[in-house]
Structure 1
Amino acid sequence: MTERLLICTDLDRTLLPNGNAPESVSARGLFAALAARPEVRLAYVSGRHRALVEQAIADYKLPQPDFVIGDVGTSIYAITADGWREWPQWIEAIAPDWAGREHTDMRRLFEHLADLRLQESVKQNRFKLSYYVPVEADLPRLMAAMRGLLAEQAIRADLIYSIDEAGPVGLLDVLPASATKFHAIEFLMQELGFSIENTVFAGDSGNDLPVLTSPIRSVLVANASAEVRKEAQELAALRSTGGALYLAKGGFLGMNGNYSAGILEGVAHYLPHTQQWMKIND
Protein backbone atom coordinates (compact mmCIF):
# COMPACT_ATOMS: atom_id res chain seq x y z
CA MET A 1 0.00 0.00 0.00
CA THR A 2 1.40 3.34 -1.04
CA GLU A 3 1.47 6.06 1.60
CA ARG A 4 1.74 9.03 -0.76
CA LEU A 5 -1.42 11.04 -1.24
CA LEU A 6 -2.27 13.91 -3.58
CA ILE A 7 -5.31 15.90 -2.44
CA CYS A 8 -6.73 18.22 -5.08
CA THR A 9 -9.59 20.41 -3.91
CA ASP A 10 -11.75 23.18 -5.26
CA LEU A 11 -11.88 26.24 -3.00
CA ASP A 12 -15.19 28.14 -3.02
CA ARG A 13 -17.92 26.20 -1.22
CA THR A 14 -15.70 23.11 -1.14
CA LEU A 15 -12.76 23.86 1.15
CA LEU A 16 -13.95 27.40 1.87
CA PRO A 17 -17.08 27.47 4.06
CA ASN A 18 -18.53 30.39 2.09
CA GLY A 19 -21.84 28.80 1.12
CA ASN A 20 -25.16 28.73 2.98
CA ALA A 21 -24.54 25.40 4.77
CA PRO A 22 -22.95 25.25 8.24
CA GLU A 23 -19.32 24.19 8.74
CA SER A 24 -18.32 21.56 11.29
CA VAL A 25 -16.24 23.31 13.95
CA SER A 26 -13.29 20.92 13.90
CA ALA A 27 -13.19 20.24 10.15
CA ARG A 28 -10.74 22.86 8.92
CA GLY A 29 -8.26 22.12 11.70
CA LEU A 30 -8.37 18.41 10.90
CA PHE A 31 -7.90 19.18 7.22
CA ALA A 32 -4.87 21.37 7.98
CA ALA A 33 -3.37 18.61 10.12
CA LEU A 34 -3.84 16.09 7.31
CA ALA A 35 -2.31 18.46 4.74
CA ALA A 36 0.72 18.99 7.00
CA ARG A 37 1.66 15.31 6.94
CA PRO A 38 4.84 14.54 4.98
CA GLU A 39 3.03 11.92 2.87
CA VAL A 40 0.52 14.48 1.55
CA ARG A 41 0.83 16.88 -1.36
CA LEU A 42 -1.90 19.50 -1.54
CA ALA A 43 -3.20 21.26 -4.66
CA TYR A 44 -5.90 23.93 -4.73
CA VAL A 45 -7.97 23.78 -7.92
CA SER A 46 -9.98 26.91 -8.46
CA GLY A 47 -11.62 29.29 -10.86
CA ARG A 48 -9.90 32.07 -8.89
CA HIS A 49 -6.83 33.87 -10.18
CA ARG A 50 -3.65 33.97 -8.12
CA ALA A 51 -4.42 37.07 -6.03
CA LEU A 52 -7.82 35.72 -5.01
CA VAL A 53 -6.35 32.33 -4.10
CA GLU A 54 -3.79 34.08 -1.89
CA GLN A 55 -6.59 36.14 -0.34
CA ALA A 56 -8.59 32.97 0.42
CA ILE A 57 -5.57 31.33 2.05
CA ALA A 58 -5.12 34.38 4.29
CA ASP A 59 -8.80 35.02 5.06
CA TYR A 60 -9.62 31.41 5.95
CA LYS A 61 -6.22 30.48 7.44
CA LEU A 62 -5.82 27.63 4.97
CA PRO A 63 -2.72 25.45 4.81
CA GLN A 64 -0.19 26.60 2.23
CA PRO A 65 -0.59 24.33 -0.81
CA ASP A 66 2.20 22.69 -2.78
CA PHE A 67 0.45 23.57 -6.05
CA VAL A 68 -2.32 25.81 -7.32
CA ILE A 69 -4.31 25.06 -10.45
CA GLY A 70 -5.95 28.43 -11.04
CA ASP A 71 -8.23 30.21 -13.49
CA VAL A 72 -10.38 27.07 -14.01
CA GLY A 73 -7.38 25.04 -15.10
CA THR A 74 -5.55 27.51 -17.34
CA SER A 75 -2.65 28.08 -14.94
CA ILE A 76 -0.55 25.81 -12.72
CA TYR A 77 1.76 27.18 -10.03
CA ALA A 78 4.27 25.38 -7.84
CA ILE A 79 4.44 26.93 -4.36
CA THR A 80 7.69 26.78 -2.40
CA ALA A 81 9.44 28.83 0.27
CA ASP A 82 10.72 30.98 -2.59
CA GLY A 83 7.21 31.86 -3.74
CA TRP A 84 4.91 31.06 -6.65
CA ARG A 85 6.33 29.76 -9.92
CA GLU A 86 4.05 29.26 -12.92
CA TRP A 87 4.64 26.09 -14.91
CA PRO A 88 5.59 27.04 -18.48
CA GLN A 89 5.20 23.41 -19.54
CA TRP A 90 1.46 23.67 -18.90
CA ILE A 91 1.12 26.77 -21.10
CA GLU A 92 2.97 24.91 -23.84
CA ALA A 93 0.58 21.99 -23.45
CA ILE A 94 -2.66 23.98 -23.78
CA ALA A 95 -1.74 26.73 -26.29
CA PRO A 96 -2.14 24.63 -29.47
CA ASP A 97 -5.86 24.11 -28.80
CA TRP A 98 -6.63 27.71 -29.71
CA ALA A 99 -4.74 27.47 -33.01
CA GLY A 100 -2.52 30.48 -32.44
CA ARG A 101 -5.27 32.65 -30.98
CA GLU A 102 -5.31 34.26 -27.56
CA HIS A 103 -7.85 36.09 -25.42
CA THR A 104 -8.45 39.13 -27.65
CA ASP A 105 -8.97 37.04 -30.78
CA MET A 106 -11.44 34.77 -29.01
CA ARG A 107 -13.37 37.71 -27.59
CA ARG A 108 -13.88 39.12 -31.09
CA LEU A 109 -15.24 35.77 -32.25
CA PHE A 110 -18.19 35.99 -29.84
CA GLU A 111 -18.73 39.76 -29.55
CA HIS A 112 -22.02 39.70 -31.51
CA LEU A 113 -23.74 37.25 -29.13
CA ALA A 114 -26.11 39.37 -27.04
CA ASP A 115 -26.39 37.06 -24.03
CA LEU A 116 -22.66 37.22 -23.29
CA ARG A 117 -21.31 39.89 -20.95
CA LEU A 118 -17.58 39.92 -20.26
CA GLN A 119 -16.53 39.34 -16.68
CA GLU A 120 -14.07 41.75 -15.04
CA SER A 121 -10.55 41.92 -16.48
CA VAL A 122 -8.99 40.31 -13.39
CA LYS A 123 -11.05 37.19 -14.14
CA GLN A 124 -9.60 36.86 -17.65
CA ASN A 125 -6.20 35.65 -18.77
CA ARG A 126 -4.35 34.69 -21.92
CA PHE A 127 -6.20 31.39 -22.22
CA LYS A 128 -9.38 32.03 -20.21
CA LEU A 129 -12.32 33.96 -21.62
CA SER A 130 -15.07 34.41 -19.03
CA TYR A 131 -18.60 35.71 -19.43
CA TYR A 132 -21.69 36.37 -17.34
CA VAL A 133 -24.86 34.86 -18.81
CA PRO A 134 -28.41 35.70 -17.64
CA VAL A 135 -29.96 32.66 -15.93
CA GLU A 136 -33.02 33.05 -18.16
CA ALA A 137 -30.94 32.82 -21.36
CA ASP A 138 -31.52 29.97 -23.80
CA LEU A 139 -28.30 28.21 -22.82
CA PRO A 140 -28.44 25.25 -25.26
CA ARG A 141 -28.99 27.62 -28.19
CA LEU A 142 -26.21 29.97 -27.04
CA MET A 143 -23.68 27.20 -26.56
CA ALA A 144 -24.61 25.61 -29.90
CA ALA A 145 -23.92 28.96 -31.61
CA MET A 146 -20.57 29.27 -29.83
CA ARG A 147 -19.56 25.71 -30.71
CA GLY A 148 -20.44 26.40 -34.34
CA LEU A 149 -18.16 29.45 -34.43
CA LEU A 150 -15.34 27.48 -32.82
CA ALA A 151 -15.72 24.63 -35.32
CA GLU A 152 -15.57 27.05 -38.26
CA GLN A 153 -12.16 28.26 -37.02
CA ALA A 154 -10.88 24.76 -36.11
CA ILE A 155 -10.46 25.91 -32.50
CA ARG A 156 -10.53 23.23 -29.79
CA ALA A 157 -12.26 24.78 -26.77
CA ASP A 158 -14.43 23.69 -23.88
CA LEU A 159 -17.39 25.71 -22.64
CA ILE A 160 -17.75 25.35 -18.88
CA TYR A 161 -20.99 26.65 -17.35
CA SER A 162 -21.91 27.08 -13.71
CA ILE A 163 -24.21 29.30 -11.66
CA ASP A 164 -23.13 31.89 -9.11
CA GLU A 165 -25.97 31.39 -6.64
CA ALA A 166 -25.19 34.71 -4.95
CA GLY A 167 -26.19 36.48 -8.19
CA PRO A 168 -27.91 34.48 -9.33
CA VAL A 169 -26.11 34.66 -12.67
CA GLY A 170 -24.62 32.17 -15.07
CA LEU A 171 -20.85 31.91 -15.42
CA LEU A 172 -19.45 30.69 -18.74
CA ASP A 173 -15.75 30.02 -19.30
CA VAL A 174 -14.22 29.43 -22.72
CA LEU A 175 -11.03 27.41 -22.23
CA PRO A 176 -8.59 25.48 -24.39
CA ALA A 177 -9.97 21.94 -24.62
CA SER A 178 -6.92 20.66 -22.71
CA ALA A 179 -7.25 23.22 -19.92
CA THR A 180 -10.16 21.97 -17.85
CA LYS A 181 -9.64 21.20 -14.19
CA PHE A 182 -9.61 17.52 -15.15
CA HIS A 183 -6.79 17.85 -17.68
CA ALA A 184 -4.78 20.09 -15.35
CA ILE A 185 -5.06 17.59 -12.49
CA GLU A 186 -4.16 14.75 -14.85
CA PHE A 187 -1.09 16.73 -16.00
CA LEU A 188 -0.10 17.42 -12.37
CA MET A 189 -0.47 13.73 -11.50
CA GLN A 190 1.75 12.71 -14.41
CA GLU A 191 4.41 15.30 -13.59
CA LEU A 192 4.52 14.27 -9.91
CA GLY A 193 4.16 10.52 -10.39
CA PHE A 194 0.73 10.07 -8.78
CA SER A 195 -1.94 7.64 -10.00
CA ILE A 196 -5.71 7.36 -9.53
CA GLU A 197 -5.01 5.06 -6.58
CA ASN A 198 -3.39 7.81 -4.51
CA THR A 199 -5.15 10.95 -5.76
CA VAL A 200 -8.44 12.35 -4.42
CA PHE A 201 -10.31 15.37 -5.80
CA ALA A 202 -13.06 17.30 -4.02
CA GLY A 203 -15.57 19.68 -5.57
CA ASP A 204 -19.08 21.09 -5.34
CA SER A 205 -20.16 22.81 -8.57
CA GLY A 206 -20.76 22.55 -12.30
CA ASN A 207 -17.22 23.37 -13.34
CA ASP A 208 -16.01 20.47 -11.17
CA LEU A 209 -18.06 17.92 -13.12
CA PRO A 210 -15.28 17.02 -15.62
CA VAL A 211 -13.22 15.73 -12.67
CA LEU A 212 -16.09 14.44 -10.53
CA THR A 213 -17.25 12.21 -13.38
CA SER A 214 -13.79 11.10 -14.51
CA PRO A 215 -11.81 8.01 -13.40
CA ILE A 216 -10.03 10.19 -10.81
CA ARG A 217 -11.33 9.35 -7.33
CA SER A 218 -13.56 12.24 -6.35
CA VAL A 219 -15.83 13.41 -3.55
CA LEU A 220 -18.80 15.72 -3.91
CA VAL A 221 -19.13 17.57 -0.62
CA ALA A 222 -22.51 17.32 1.16
CA ASN A 223 -23.31 21.02 0.72
CA ALA A 224 -23.36 20.69 -3.10
CA SER A 225 -26.71 21.55 -4.67
CA ALA A 226 -29.21 18.82 -5.48
CA GLU A 227 -28.88 19.73 -9.17
CA VAL A 228 -25.12 19.20 -9.22
CA ARG A 229 -25.48 15.97 -7.23
CA LYS A 230 -28.04 14.64 -9.72
CA GLU A 231 -26.00 15.66 -12.77
CA ALA A 232 -22.81 14.17 -11.33
CA GLN A 233 -24.50 10.83 -10.68
CA GLU A 234 -26.07 10.74 -14.14
CA LEU A 235 -22.81 11.60 -15.93
CA ALA A 236 -20.82 9.13 -13.82
CA ALA A 237 -23.31 6.39 -14.69
CA LEU A 238 -23.11 7.31 -18.38
CA ARG A 239 -19.30 7.21 -18.28
CA SER A 240 -19.12 4.09 -16.06
CA THR A 241 -17.13 6.04 -13.46
CA GLY A 242 -19.60 5.70 -10.57
CA GLY A 243 -17.03 3.83 -8.51
CA ALA A 244 -14.82 6.94 -8.57
CA LEU A 245 -17.54 9.30 -7.31
CA TYR A 246 -18.33 9.52 -3.59
CA LEU A 247 -21.16 11.67 -2.24
CA ALA A 248 -20.33 12.93 1.23
CA LYS A 249 -23.25 12.50 3.59
CA GLY A 250 -21.89 13.39 7.03
CA GLY A 251 -21.37 11.31 10.14
CA PHE A 252 -17.62 10.80 9.66
CA LEU A 253 -15.84 11.78 12.91
CA GLY A 254 -19.14 13.31 14.01
CA MET A 255 -18.99 15.97 11.28
CA ASN A 256 -21.66 17.06 8.81
CA GLY A 257 -19.96 16.33 5.48
CA ASN A 258 -20.00 19.96 4.36
CA TYR A 259 -16.86 21.68 3.02
CA SER A 260 -13.61 20.31 4.47
CA ALA A 261 -15.54 17.70 6.50
CA GLY A 262 -16.69 16.24 3.19
CA ILE A 263 -13.15 16.23 1.82
CA LEU A 264 -11.92 14.28 4.85
CA GLU A 265 -14.85 11.88 4.56
CA GLY A 266 -14.04 11.22 0.91
CA VAL A 267 -10.33 10.68 1.54
CA ALA A 268 -11.16 8.19 4.31
CA HIS A 269 -13.66 6.42 2.03
CA TYR A 270 -11.10 5.79 -0.71
CA LEU A 271 -8.07 5.31 1.54
CA PRO A 272 -9.24 3.85 4.88
CA HIS A 273 -5.71 3.83 6.33
CA THR A 274 -5.76 7.63 6.35
CA GLN A 275 -8.36 7.56 9.13
CA GLN A 276 -5.44 7.01 11.50
CA TRP A 277 -4.05 10.33 10.24
CA MET A 278 -7.23 12.16 11.21
CA LYS A 279 -7.45 11.33 14.90
CA ILE A 280 -6.12 14.69 16.07
CA ASN A 281 -8.68 16.35 18.35
CA ASP A 282 -10.99 13.39 17.86
Structure 2
Amino acid sequence: MIPATGERILLATDLDRTLLPNGAQAESPEARPRFRRLAARPEVVLAYVTGRHRALVEQAIADYGLPTPDFVIGDVGASLYAVRGRTWTHRADWQARIAGDWEGRTRADLARALADLGGLRLQEPEKQAPLKLSYYAEALADPAELLAAVRARLRATGAACHLIWSIDETTATGLLDLLPAGASKLHALRFLGEDLGIPLLDTVFAGDSGNDMEVLESEIPSVLVANAESGVRAMAVERARSLGHSAALYLATGGMGGMNGCYSAGILEGLAHFIPRSLDWREVLA
Protein backbone atom coordinates (compact mmCIF):
# COMPACT_ATOMS: atom_id res chain seq x y z
CA MET A 1 0.00 0.00 0.00
CA ILE A 2 1.23 3.50 -0.87
CA PRO A 3 0.16 6.06 1.77
CA ALA A 4 -1.53 9.29 0.80
CA THR A 5 0.33 12.48 1.70
CA GLY A 6 -2.07 15.43 1.52
CA GLU A 7 -5.54 16.71 2.36
CA ARG A 8 -7.31 16.78 -0.99
CA ILE A 9 -7.95 13.55 -2.87
CA LEU A 10 -8.44 13.29 -6.61
CA LEU A 11 -10.85 10.39 -7.07
CA ALA A 12 -10.97 9.51 -10.76
CA THR A 13 -13.18 6.78 -12.14
CA ASP A 14 -14.19 5.27 -15.43
CA LEU A 15 -17.95 5.12 -15.99
CA ASP A 16 -19.20 2.11 -17.97
CA ARG A 17 -18.98 -1.07 -15.91
CA THR A 18 -16.86 0.71 -13.30
CA LEU A 19 -19.10 3.29 -11.65
CA LEU A 20 -22.09 2.43 -13.83
CA PRO A 21 -23.59 -0.99 -12.99
CA ASN A 22 -24.23 -1.79 -16.66
CA GLY A 23 -22.34 -5.07 -16.80
CA ALA A 24 -23.49 -8.63 -16.20
CA GLN A 25 -22.72 -8.70 -12.48
CA ALA A 26 -25.06 -7.50 -9.75
CA GLU A 27 -24.54 -4.20 -7.96
CA SER A 28 -24.46 -4.06 -4.16
CA PRO A 29 -27.53 -1.88 -3.48
CA GLU A 30 -25.83 0.21 -0.80
CA ALA A 31 -22.72 0.97 -2.87
CA ARG A 32 -23.87 3.86 -5.07
CA PRO A 33 -25.56 5.78 -2.23
CA ARG A 34 -22.32 5.47 -0.26
CA PHE A 35 -20.37 6.69 -3.28
CA ARG A 36 -22.66 9.72 -3.62
CA ARG A 37 -22.15 10.63 0.03
CA LEU A 38 -18.39 10.19 -0.31
CA ALA A 39 -18.25 12.44 -3.37
CA ALA A 40 -19.95 15.23 -1.41
CA ARG A 41 -17.07 15.48 1.05
CA PRO A 42 -15.11 18.74 0.65
CA GLU A 43 -11.72 17.04 0.40
CA VAL A 44 -12.78 14.84 -2.51
CA VAL A 45 -12.21 16.16 -6.04
CA LEU A 46 -14.24 13.90 -8.33
CA ALA A 47 -13.33 13.26 -11.97
CA TYR A 48 -15.07 10.99 -14.45
CA VAL A 49 -12.58 9.49 -16.90
CA THR A 50 -14.41 7.92 -19.80
CA GLY A 51 -14.65 7.14 -23.47
CA ARG A 52 -18.03 8.87 -23.54
CA HIS A 53 -18.55 12.32 -25.00
CA ARG A 54 -20.20 15.11 -23.02
CA ALA A 55 -23.82 14.34 -23.90
CA LEU A 56 -23.44 10.68 -22.95
CA VAL A 57 -21.76 11.61 -19.66
CA GLU A 58 -24.65 13.92 -18.83
CA GLN A 59 -27.06 11.14 -19.75
CA ALA A 60 -25.27 8.70 -17.42
CA ILE A 61 -25.36 11.20 -14.56
CA ALA A 62 -29.12 11.59 -15.00
CA ASP A 63 -29.93 7.93 -15.64
CA TYR A 64 -27.93 6.56 -12.72
CA GLY A 65 -28.27 9.39 -10.21
CA LEU A 66 -24.54 10.05 -10.14
CA PRO A 67 -22.98 12.98 -8.30
CA THR A 68 -21.98 15.89 -10.49
CA PRO A 69 -18.21 15.65 -10.94
CA ASP A 70 -15.71 18.46 -10.62
CA PHE A 71 -14.02 17.42 -13.86
CA VAL A 72 -14.69 15.16 -16.83
CA ILE A 73 -11.96 13.60 -18.93
CA GLY A 74 -13.97 12.48 -21.94
CA ASP A 75 -13.42 10.88 -25.34
CA VAL A 76 -10.77 8.51 -23.88
CA GLY A 77 -8.62 11.50 -22.91
CA ALA A 78 -9.15 13.73 -25.96
CA SER A 79 -11.31 16.24 -24.06
CA LEU A 80 -11.23 17.80 -20.59
CA TYR A 81 -13.98 19.81 -18.89
CA ALA A 82 -14.29 21.63 -15.59
CA VAL A 83 -17.83 21.19 -14.27
CA ARG A 84 -19.60 23.57 -11.90
CA GLY A 85 -23.22 22.61 -11.51
CA ARG A 86 -24.79 22.79 -14.96
CA THR A 87 -21.86 24.73 -16.43
CA TRP A 88 -19.24 22.77 -18.35
CA THR A 89 -16.08 24.67 -19.28
CA HIS A 90 -13.97 23.14 -22.02
CA ARG A 91 -10.29 23.16 -21.09
CA ALA A 92 -8.78 24.63 -24.23
CA ASP A 93 -5.29 24.39 -22.71
CA TRP A 94 -5.48 20.59 -22.79
CA GLN A 95 -6.87 20.61 -26.32
CA ALA A 96 -4.03 22.86 -27.47
CA ARG A 97 -1.43 20.66 -25.83
CA ILE A 98 -2.46 17.52 -27.71
CA ALA A 99 -3.67 18.94 -31.04
CA GLY A 100 -0.19 19.54 -32.46
CA ASP A 101 0.50 15.81 -32.60
CA TRP A 102 -1.69 15.52 -35.68
CA GLU A 103 0.42 18.08 -37.59
CA GLY A 104 -2.64 19.90 -38.87
CA ARG A 105 -4.38 16.73 -40.02
CA THR A 106 -8.06 16.39 -39.22
CA ARG A 107 -10.10 13.41 -38.15
CA ALA A 108 -11.46 13.25 -41.70
CA ASP A 109 -7.91 13.09 -43.10
CA LEU A 110 -7.12 10.09 -40.92
CA ALA A 111 -10.40 8.39 -41.79
CA ARG A 112 -9.59 8.72 -45.49
CA ALA A 113 -6.22 7.06 -44.93
CA LEU A 114 -7.97 4.06 -43.37
CA ALA A 115 -11.04 3.99 -45.61
CA ASP A 116 -10.14 0.83 -47.54
CA LEU A 117 -8.55 -1.07 -44.66
CA GLY A 118 -10.55 -4.21 -43.97
CA GLY A 119 -11.81 -5.09 -40.52
CA LEU A 120 -12.75 -1.57 -39.44
CA ARG A 121 -16.15 0.12 -39.34
CA LEU A 122 -16.55 3.75 -38.33
CA GLN A 123 -18.52 4.32 -35.17
CA GLU A 124 -21.54 6.62 -35.22
CA PRO A 125 -20.93 10.38 -35.74
CA GLU A 126 -21.93 11.18 -32.17
CA LYS A 127 -19.14 8.90 -30.91
CA GLN A 128 -16.47 10.83 -32.78
CA ALA A 129 -14.72 13.98 -31.53
CA PRO A 130 -12.48 16.61 -33.11
CA LEU A 131 -9.41 14.77 -31.81
CA LYS A 132 -10.80 11.22 -31.62
CA LEU A 133 -11.50 8.81 -34.46
CA SER A 134 -13.34 5.67 -33.36
CA TYR A 135 -14.00 2.35 -35.07
CA TYR A 136 -15.72 -0.94 -34.42
CA ALA A 137 -13.84 -4.13 -35.22
CA GLU A 138 -14.03 -7.85 -34.66
CA ALA A 139 -13.33 -8.77 -31.02
CA LEU A 140 -9.88 -10.12 -31.81
CA ALA A 141 -8.01 -11.97 -29.08
CA ASP A 142 -4.79 -10.68 -30.65
CA PRO A 143 -5.27 -7.43 -32.59
CA ALA A 144 -1.54 -6.97 -33.31
CA GLU A 145 -1.80 -7.47 -37.07
CA LEU A 146 -4.73 -5.09 -37.41
CA LEU A 147 -3.07 -2.43 -35.27
CA ALA A 148 0.18 -2.72 -37.22
CA ALA A 149 -1.70 -2.10 -40.46
CA VAL A 150 -3.46 0.92 -38.94
CA ARG A 151 -0.17 2.37 -37.67
CA ALA A 152 1.45 1.98 -41.08
CA ARG A 153 -1.37 3.93 -42.75
CA LEU A 154 -1.26 6.65 -40.11
CA ARG A 155 2.51 7.09 -40.34
CA ALA A 156 2.09 7.92 -44.00
CA THR A 157 -0.14 10.87 -43.06
CA GLY A 158 2.50 12.43 -40.81
CA ALA A 159 0.12 12.47 -37.84
CA ALA A 160 1.46 11.08 -34.56
CA CYS A 161 -1.32 8.91 -33.15
CA HIS A 162 -2.07 6.94 -30.02
CA LEU A 163 -4.14 3.79 -30.55
CA ILE A 164 -6.39 2.41 -27.82
CA TRP A 165 -7.83 -1.08 -28.27
CA SER A 166 -10.49 -2.58 -26.04
CA ILE A 167 -13.37 -5.04 -26.21
CA ASP A 168 -16.94 -4.34 -25.18
CA GLU A 169 -17.76 -7.65 -23.54
CA THR A 170 -21.48 -6.87 -23.47
CA THR A 171 -21.60 -6.90 -27.28
CA ALA A 172 -18.41 -8.89 -28.05
CA THR A 173 -17.22 -6.01 -30.21
CA GLY A 174 -13.70 -4.66 -30.68
CA LEU A 175 -13.28 -0.92 -30.14
CA LEU A 176 -10.44 1.11 -31.62
CA ASP A 177 -9.86 4.76 -30.76
CA LEU A 178 -7.28 6.92 -32.53
CA LEU A 179 -6.08 9.97 -30.60
CA PRO A 180 -3.18 12.40 -30.79
CA ALA A 181 -0.01 10.72 -29.50
CA GLY A 182 -0.06 12.73 -26.27
CA ALA A 183 -3.72 12.05 -25.49
CA SER A 184 -4.94 9.24 -23.26
CA LYS A 185 -6.73 8.78 -19.97
CA LEU A 186 -3.30 8.57 -18.31
CA HIS A 187 -1.89 11.72 -19.88
CA ALA A 188 -5.04 13.71 -19.16
CA LEU A 189 -5.17 12.50 -15.55
CA ARG A 190 -1.54 13.47 -14.99
CA PHE A 191 -2.24 16.88 -16.53
CA LEU A 192 -5.27 17.41 -14.29
CA GLY A 193 -3.44 16.37 -11.13
CA GLU A 194 -0.54 18.70 -11.89
CA ASP A 195 -2.94 21.55 -12.65
CA LEU A 196 -4.76 21.02 -9.34
CA GLY A 197 -1.54 20.58 -7.37
CA ILE A 198 -2.67 17.17 -6.13
CA PRO A 199 0.19 14.64 -6.02
CA LEU A 200 -0.20 11.32 -7.79
CA LEU A 201 -0.08 9.55 -4.43
CA ASP A 202 -3.24 11.42 -3.44
CA THR A 203 -4.98 10.28 -6.60
CA VAL A 204 -7.01 7.07 -6.84
CA PHE A 205 -8.23 5.80 -10.20
CA ALA A 206 -10.80 3.05 -10.80
CA GLY A 207 -11.32 1.11 -14.01
CA ASP A 208 -12.43 -2.19 -15.49
CA SER A 209 -11.35 -2.58 -19.11
CA GLY A 210 -8.63 -2.41 -21.72
CA ASN A 211 -8.97 1.31 -22.32
CA ASP A 212 -8.12 1.84 -18.64
CA MET A 213 -4.95 -0.24 -18.88
CA GLU A 214 -2.46 2.62 -19.22
CA VAL A 215 -3.59 4.00 -15.87
CA LEU A 216 -3.97 0.60 -14.19
CA GLU A 217 -0.37 -0.31 -15.03
CA SER A 218 1.03 3.11 -14.12
CA GLU A 219 2.40 4.64 -10.93
CA ILE A 220 -1.02 6.16 -10.14
CA PRO A 221 -2.77 4.24 -7.32
CA SER A 222 -5.50 2.32 -9.12
CA VAL A 223 -8.23 -0.18 -8.33
CA LEU A 224 -9.57 -2.77 -10.74
CA VAL A 225 -13.18 -3.44 -9.79
CA ALA A 226 -14.17 -7.04 -9.08
CA ASN A 227 -16.43 -7.30 -12.13
CA ALA A 228 -13.50 -6.79 -14.53
CA GLU A 229 -12.88 -9.59 -17.02
CA SER A 230 -10.27 -12.14 -15.93
CA GLY A 231 -8.14 -11.35 -18.98
CA VAL A 232 -8.04 -7.67 -18.10
CA ARG A 233 -7.14 -8.56 -14.53
CA ALA A 234 -4.27 -10.81 -15.59
CA MET A 235 -2.94 -8.23 -18.04
CA ALA A 236 -3.09 -5.41 -15.48
CA VAL A 237 -1.24 -7.47 -12.87
CA GLU A 238 1.48 -8.50 -15.32
CA ARG A 239 1.99 -5.05 -16.80
CA ALA A 240 2.07 -3.33 -13.41
CA ARG A 241 4.60 -5.93 -12.22
CA SER A 242 6.83 -5.49 -15.27
CA LEU A 243 6.85 -1.71 -14.78
CA GLY A 244 7.57 -1.96 -11.05
CA HIS A 245 4.15 -0.59 -10.09
CA SER A 246 2.59 -3.61 -8.40
CA ALA A 247 2.07 -1.68 -5.17
CA ALA A 248 0.01 0.89 -7.07
CA LEU A 249 -2.55 -1.67 -8.30
CA TYR A 250 -5.31 -3.04 -6.10
CA LEU A 251 -7.73 -5.76 -7.16
CA ALA A 252 -11.12 -5.39 -5.50
CA THR A 253 -12.46 -8.68 -4.17
CA GLY A 254 -15.50 -7.67 -2.12
CA GLY A 255 -16.25 -8.07 1.55
CA MET A 256 -15.84 -4.47 2.71
CA GLY A 257 -19.05 -3.31 4.35
CA GLY A 258 -20.83 -6.42 3.11
CA MET A 259 -20.44 -5.30 -0.51
CA ASN A 260 -19.34 -7.42 -3.47
CA GLY A 261 -16.49 -5.30 -4.87
CA CYS A 262 -18.24 -4.70 -8.19
CA TYR A 263 -18.75 -1.23 -9.67
CA SER A 264 -18.89 1.53 -7.02
CA ALA A 265 -18.33 -1.03 -4.25
CA GLY A 266 -14.94 -1.75 -5.79
CA ILE A 267 -14.16 1.96 -6.04
CA LEU A 268 -14.87 2.41 -2.32
CA GLU A 269 -12.81 -0.68 -1.49
CA GLY A 270 -9.84 0.61 -3.47
CA LEU A 271 -10.12 4.06 -1.93
CA ALA A 272 -10.03 2.50 1.55
CA HIS A 273 -6.92 0.53 0.57
CA PHE A 274 -4.96 3.53 -0.66
CA ILE A 275 -6.50 6.20 1.61
CA PRO A 276 -7.14 4.34 4.91
CA ARG A 277 -8.48 7.46 6.61
CA SER A 278 -11.52 7.22 4.33
CA LEU A 279 -12.70 4.34 6.52
CA ASP A 280 -13.22 6.91 9.28
CA TRP A 281 -15.67 8.81 7.10
CA ARG A 282 -19.21 7.76 7.96
CA GLU A 283 -20.18 8.30 4.33
CA VAL A 284 -18.19 5.27 3.16
CA LEU A 285 -19.74 2.57 5.30
CA ALA A 286 -22.85 4.20 6.78
Q: What TM-score does the superposition give when structure 1 sets the normalisation length?
A: 0.97
Cα contact 1:115–1:137 (8 A) shared by 2: no
| Counterpart selection for 1:59 from 63, 67, 71 | 63
Deviation of the 1:153 alpha carbon: 3.4
Distance 1:150 1:235 in 2: 26
Residue 115 of structure 1 corresponds to 119
- 2:151 is paired with a residue whose SS is helix
Cα contact 2:10–2:47 (8 A) shared by 1: yes
Deviation of the 1:154 alpha carbon: 3.5
The equivalences for 1:210-221 within 5 A come to: 210-221=214-225
CA 1:98 to 1:16, structure 2 compared with 1: closer, same or farther past 3 Å?
Answer: same
Residue 102 of structure 2 corresponds to 98
Give, as a single letter, the amino acid of the residue that structure 1 aligns with 2:127.
Answer: K
Deviation of the 1:279 alpha carbon: 4.8
CA 1:280 to 1:216, structure 2 compared with 1: closer, same or farther past 3 Å?
Answer: closer
Distance 1:178 1:85 in 2: 21
Deviation of the 1:165 alpha carbon: 1.7
Residue 207 of structure 2 corresponds to 203
Structure 2: gaps of 5 or more residues = none
| Counterpart selection for 1:174 from 164, 172, 178 | 178
Deviation of the 1:234 alpha carbon: 1.0
Distance 2:85 2:34 in 1: 23
Aligned-pair identity in percent equals 56
Any idea what the Cα deviations from partners look like across 1:4-34, whole Å, max 9, x if unmatched?
Answer: 1010000000000110111111100111111
Residue 19 of structure 1 corresponds to 23
Give the count of matched residue pairs. Answer: 282
Deviation of the 1:152 alpha carbon: 3.2
Cα contact 2:38–2:283 (8 A) shared by 1: no
| Counterpart selection for 2:241 from 237, 255, 258 | 237
The equivalences for 1:63-82 within 5 A come to: 63-81=67-85
Distance 1:279 1:111 in 2: 51
Any idea what the Cα deviations from partners look like across 1:183-212, whole Å, max 9, x if unmatched?
Answer: 010111011111112100000000000000
Give, as a single letter, the amino acid of the residue that structure 2 aligns with 1:140.
Answer: A
Distance 1:7 1:124 in 2: 26
- The reply to whether residue 151 of structure 1 matches residue 129 of structure 2 is no
Deviation of the 1:66 alpha carbon: 0.4
Give, as a single letter, the amino acid of the residue that structure 2 aligns with 1:188.
Answer: L
Cα contact 2:166–2:175 (8 A) shared by 1: yes
- The reply to whether residue 274 of structure 1 matches residue 252 of structure 2 is no
Deviation of the 1:277 alpha carbon: 1.4
